[in-house]
Amino acid sequence: QVTLKESGPVLVKPTETLTLTCTVSGFSLSNARMGVSWIRQPPGKALEWLAHIFSNDEKSYSTSLKSRLTISKDTSKSQVVLTMTNMDPVDTATYYCARQQNYYGSGSYHQNFDYWGQGTLVTVSS
Amino acid sequence: QTVVTQEPSLTVSPGGTVTLTCASSTGAVTSGYYPNWFQQKPGQAPRALIYSTSNKHSWTPARFSGSLLGGKAALTLSGVQPEDEAEYYCLLYYGGAYWVFGGGTKLTVL
């Protein structure tokens, strides 16, 4: 059974650094097909893709937030960590992690975001 | 800044058919954007419906289908059920390994 679970602070102050952890089970972060993305959703607003880490440790970031984000993983702990610096009240959102599979199947390459965590609400306020 | 555009809202009658679309500011959406579609109900995490344009997950109801239509990615619901009322998001992949969500379509079943 594949699960992802986000954890981290509920409340952070402006200018502080946010650190979120995604703990996964049911698959290995070292599997060549597997990657994990972080996505956020401000209250009442749309989803926003933030960052991704591939099995080979290659990373990618949202162009608008790249300077503030760092994604990393600890395969032995089955965890993916996202840090976001210089938090602001506009960063108040539910933060999700999601598994992504990259593979060739039926003669085609596929990108498949399949399983998501339940999300964790982070509020930025002094 | 890449923008992915979806209809803000659509209304469909129970049993009807509706198509939601997903357009890219960079031009026509092709299979190389690997469109993914997600359903989100209030208070819940998104649920994956479609990947790589038209592929269904094992849990995706048969009434949902994905395609490319007129330079956009499309999600079609045929025989809409009341429980399909939700927000729907598309996700597109851009070379250089980054993804962009659309703004979402609020689907009302009325």
Q: What value does the mean pLDDT take over residues A16-44?
A: 97
A/B interface, count of CB pairs below 8 Å: 71
CA distance A108 to A77: 32
Q: What is the pLDDT of residues B87-110, one digit of tens each?
A: 999 999 998 778 999 999 999 999
Contact in structure between A59 and A69 (CB atoms under 8 Å): no
Judging contacts by C-beta atoms under 8 Å, the chain B residues touching residue A47 are 38, 40, 46, 89, 91, 101, 104
Strands A108-116 and A48-54: unpaired
CA distance A121 to A123: 7
CA distance B67 to B30: 10
Judging contacts by C-beta atoms under 8 Å, the chain A residues touching residue B103 are 46
Length of chain A: 126
CA distance B48 to B84: 13
pLDDT grade, residue B59 (50/70/90)?
very high
Which pLDDT score, from 0 to 100, does residue A115 have? 98
| The three-state (H, E, C) secondary structure of A97-125, written as one string | EEEEEEEEECCEEEEEEEEECCCEEEEEC
Q: What value does the mean pLDDT take over residues B64-72?
A: 97
Is residue A12's pLDDT more than 80?
A: yes
Length of chain B: 110
Which pLDDT score, from 0 to 100, does residue A78 have? 97
Q: Which residue has the tokens 């209250």?
A: A43
Which pLDDT score, from 0 to 100, does residue A107 have? 82
Contact in structure between A8 and A121 (CB atoms under 8 Å): no
From the list A39, A46, A60, the residue facing B97 with the nearest CB is A60
3-state secondary structure at position A89: helix
Judging contacts by C-beta atoms under 8 Å, the chain B residues touching residue A53 are none
Is residue B37's pLDDT more than 90?
A: yes
3-state secondary structure at position A86: coil
Q: What is the pLDDT of residues A60-104, one digit of tens each?
A: 999 999 999 999 999 999 999 999 999 999 999 999 999 999 888
**Maximum alpha-carbon separation in chain A:** 53
CA distance A108 to B43: 35
Q: What value does the mean pLDDT take over residues B35-45?
A: 98
| The three-state (H, E, C) secondary structure of chain B, written as one string | CCCEEECCEEEECCCCEEEEEEEECCECCCHHHCCEEEEECCCCCCEEEEECCCEECCCCCCCEEEEEECCEEEEEEECCCHHHCEEEEEEEEECCCEEEECCCEEEEEC
